[in-house]
Structure 1
């Protein structure tokens, strides 16, 4: 598998050169959509995994539950016994699976705009967020997201264009440009959700607690707000709900996003 590193080790600070590990979402979206994560690696490097099914790694996911082994293999490759993990969106499932299956290897988690209803059963409320926008583009995006779903790659690409506005609290030139970044394949997405044990959520909730930060957006139509609050509570996590923010906080609220991760990054450097 491929990876790249954001940031450089900080001289003179014990432990500051040890990277946190970043698991992208999508799932299996080209990792360039992460950009530089709003510069959060300015004082501690972040090693970005290119998971199975992404364009740079290729292959097919074995399902996010099994792909948790890849996170451990990544840590082994970097010579790290225990790791601090940042994960975005669908990548948070893989990060939580790694905690459940390899608890000694996970030191802390920062989970960014996680899909949440699956973990606690709290009903998705993104429909209310979509209605509150009163925007025909958002209405069309939500109708596509909640429809039957694409049958092939061509339909997937068309749906991606339609659904873009639902991913952001605003739809300015910046967000429109970001929505086009990062290649995806429908077959990779489907593979990511195969082979998941029926008791995956129960095993995750029974896993040992680790210091956990959840960063969410109060306008995130894709995952909602209520389920994320319940998710953070179930994990014993510190929840930072960013105002006027959707699914990509480093794009929409970069300063607030950096502030949200600041304490988590600093504590990881000192462990």
Structure 2
């Protein structure tokens, strides 16, 4: 009776993820396209792909126009690869020359490009000390979430929602307690008594059925589903943790580049002194 009148929250989550998969794929494609358009600043590459898909020629016969078009594509490509909205190719060349003067490799520069201002040819202060504390806060939050996910992986209890009610319970098939553990808990022996803390007869019947031997197989399936959700949850946390660590490395690298730029600025005499 439990499968008909109770619902495993983990199974509900898996069903939701399964049904939402096509929409998530479509949303992911849209986000990827938006990200690309935002970084490149133009949609020339999209229009060009559509043009070629419809049978249009990629080549431009006029040499002068072909050269200009290549410059546009190069500029669009540089904007996308660096994330910097260069006004023209000269700005991009100036940035790489500036990096060469500082002794900064192109790879390191690309990792820190967001701090570079092409209009003023300056490098912003990454504020590493502040971002280091932010990173610690993020890691602490991820660690707490990972502990919760680990608990879901090892526990034999599973979270069950009673249908047509707001009651949620943790149970391992032998004992059962409310989602808010301070409210109430019970065993199968309590079902033979007058349960005053569960006035709803439907809820009382369902929770008692959940801790009967007949519901053991259903609860085992619910625990298995819960472990799948926990693995998925931990994988997401792992990706987020790697992102935070990578962000911290980029900030540290940007701080070193900023220090070099400040040292170069201090060593360069003002124009009036020349």
- The structure whose residues are more often strand, as a share, is 1
Question: What TM-score results when the alignment is normalised by the length of structure 2?
Answer: 0.21
* Largest Rg, 1 or 2: 2
Question: What TM-score results when the alignment is normalised by the length of structure 1?
Answer: 0.21
